[in-house]
Amino acid sequence: MTPLTCRARTLPQALRQNGFSLIEMLAALVILGLALGVLYQAASGATRNARVSAEYAIATTLAESQLDAFLVTLPDEAERTQGQFGVYRWEGWVELIPEREESGIAWIRLRVSWPGEGQPRSVSLRTASKLRNEA
Q: What is the pLDDT of residues 8-51, one digit of tens each?
A: 555 555 566 677 788 989 999 999 999 999 999 999 889 989 99
Q: Is residue 7 in a domain?
A: no
3, pLDDT greater than 60: no
Domain count, the chain: 1
Q: Is residue 11 in a domain?
A: no
- Pick from 66, 97, 95: nearest CA to 83: 66
52, pLDDT greater than 70: yes
Q: Is residue 13 in a domain?
A: no
Q: Is residue 115 in a domain?
A: yes
Q: Is residue 10 in a domain?
A: no
Q: Is residue 123 in a domain?
A: yes
**Domain containing residue 41:** 20-130
Rounded Cα distance, 77 and 97, in Å: 11
pLDDT given at position 104: 77
Q: Is residue 69 in a domain?
A: yes
Q: Is residue 63 in a domain?
A: yes
Q: Would you say 68 and 110 are in contact if contact means Cβ atoms under 8 Å apart?
A: no
